[in-house]
Amino acid sequence: MAIRSPYRSVRGISAAVALLAIGAVGCSDVSDAVDSAKDGAKKVARQRSVFSLSIGDCYNPNSKGEGETMLVEIVPCDEAHAGQVVGEYKIEEEKKSYPGDEAIWAVADERCPAEAGKFTPDTWALPKGVEIFYYTPTKESWATGDRAVTCTYTKESGKFTGSLNAEAKSFKAEQTAFLKGSNGVYDALWANQPESDTVEDDLAGYKKQAKAVAAALDAHLAGLKGIEGTEVGKLRAQLTKTAEHWKKAANSADADAFYIAYDPAFTGLDPNKSVAARKELGLATTVPADEAEVWAS
């Protein structure tokens, strides 16, 4: 999933409603102008600093894509909106000097998906086009003591309606257990992605990733033991074999041995293999487009 990072700025963004000069115009024009003024006033009244956002807030950004921003429009979740706050945390950084954008974003890349998973466990049920965005401190706001990161699910284009954790509130224990384990596996896979494109250039990095995925699979399998169902049982058996391949990859003596183990290991995580079990558990069954693309290649 692509990560975007619109970030905070200490520079204020002024918001004002244009005063309408109503002269010799038709009644419909006057009515439209009044309605427009009311809409503008309503939007201004809903403006809130990004520093005061709370988990669960639904909002509309005042700008698109990456960049600096100070205000967003808070709206009721039952109204169409572009984003929702799904997590937050503070950077544990003792240094007085700003660690740099890349360092801040590296932590957010790891933490925000995990925080989002707590709020919306089933990412397969997310509206199409929703991705993780986050607001992080800038060099200027860092100097004022800002250490907060706000994680959101936001659509770059279009809007959606409703809270993204509405369904999660009614999940049964077995659904929650399945999602926790499954999410842990994919988080381990992507959070530990080596920087090098080839195993030969970073065997240690790839083995570290394999070790993390193997551990996450063991945790997932432990959670699946308490869940009944024919399809869940089939998935458990398949993932048991997959875990063994990841362990072999983690213990590879060289790149050739790693490649031999990695191919069935990665294939074993194909999300399509979990569709039947998800259906049996009453969870979303449409593989997200970005995940489908990865395993189709």
Residue 25 belongs to a domain: no
Q: Are residues 219 and 191 in the same domain?
A: yes
Q: Are residues 216 and 264 in the same domain?
A: yes
8 pLDDT higher than 50: no
Q: Measured between alpha carbons, how far is 140 from 256 in angstroms, rounded to an integer?
A: 48
What does the longest C-alpha to C-alpha distance in the chain come to? 84
Sorting pLDDT into bands at 50, 70 and 90, what band is 66? low
The predicted pLDDT at position 34 comes to 36
Calculate the CA dihedral of residues 148, 8, 4, 109 and round it to 10 degrees. Answer: -20
Q: Who wins on pLDDT, 57 or 28? A: 57
Q: Measured between alpha carbons, how far is 60 from 84 in angstroms, rounded to an integer?
A: 9
Residue 202 belongs to a domain: yes
DSSP the chain: --EE--EE-SS-----PPPP---S--HHHHHHHHHHHHHHHHHHHTEEEGGG--TT-EEEESS-SSSEESEEEEE-TTS-BSEEEEEEEE-----SS---HHHHHHHHHHHHHHHHHHH---GGGSPTTEEEEEE---HHHHHTT--EEEEEEEESSS-B-S-TTTTGGG--HHHHHHHHHHHHHHHHHHHT--SSSSGGG-HHHHHHHHHHHHHHHHHHHHHHTT---HHHHHHHHHHHHHHHHHHHHHT-SSHHHHHHHHHHHHHTT-GGGGHHHHHHHT---S--HHHHHHHH-
Q: What residues have CB less than 8 Å from 181, skipping those under 6 apart? A: 216, 219, 220, 221, 222, 223, 224
Rg of the Cα trace of the chain?
A: 23
Q: Are residues 192 and 234 in the same domain?
A: yes
Q: Are residues 124 and 148 in the same domain?
A: yes
**Torsion sign across C-alpha atoms 230, 213, 196, 255:** negative
Residue 7 belongs to a domain: no
Q: Are residues 147 and 180 in the same domain?
A: no
Q: Are residues 141 and 196 in the same domain?
A: no
Residue 196 belongs to a domain: yes
The predicted pLDDT at position 138 comes to 86
The predicted pLDDT at position 106 comes to 85
Q: Are residues 137 and 186 in the same domain?
A: no
Domain limit, last residue, from 166, 186, 206: 166
Kindly state the average pLDDT of the residues 226-242.
96
Q: Are residues 228 and 202 in the same domain?
A: yes
Residue 14 belongs to a domain: no
CB atoms within 10 A of CB 82: 24
The tally of domains found in the chain comes to: 2
4 pLDDT higher than 50: no
Kindly state the average pLDDT of the residues 34-42.
44
| Structure tokens belonging to residue 216 | 């996450």
The predicted pLDDT at position 214 comes to 98
The predicted pLDDT at position 234 comes to 97
Q: Measured between alpha carbons, how far is 232 from 275 in angstroms, rounded to an integer?
A: 10
The predicted pLDDT at position 28 comes to 45
The model's pTM is 0.75
The predicted pLDDT at position 269 comes to 96
Q: Are 132 and 153 in contact (CB under 8 A)?
A: yes
Domain limit, last residue, from 166, 194, 226: 166
Which domain, by its residues, includes 64?
A: 43-166
Domain limit, last residue, from 166, 187, 205: 166
Sorting pLDDT into bands at 50, 70 and 90, what band is 19? very low
Q: What is the distance between the terminal CA atoms of the chain, rounded to a whole angstrom?
A: 15
Kindly state the average pLDDT of the residues 123-152.
89
Residue 33 belongs to a domain: no
The predicted pLDDT at position 168 comes to 82
Q: Measured between alpha carbons, how far is 33 from 21 in angstroms, rounded to an integer?
A: 9
Which of 135, 129, 128 minimizes the C-alpha distance to 151? 135
Q: Are residues 280 and 193 in the same domain?
A: yes
Q: Are residues 194 and 149 in the same domain?
A: no
Sorting pLDDT into bands at 50, 70 and 90, what band is 3? very low
Residue 52 belongs to a domain: yes
The predicted pLDDT at position 69 comes to 73
Sorting pLDDT into bands at 50, 70 and 90, what band is 33? very low
Q: Are 277 and 235 in contact (CB under 8 A)?
A: yes
Q: Are 204 and 196 in contact (CB under 8 A)?
A: no
Q: Are residues 94 and 195 in the same domain?
A: no
What's the pLDDT tens digit per position in 241-261? 999 999 999 999 999 999 999
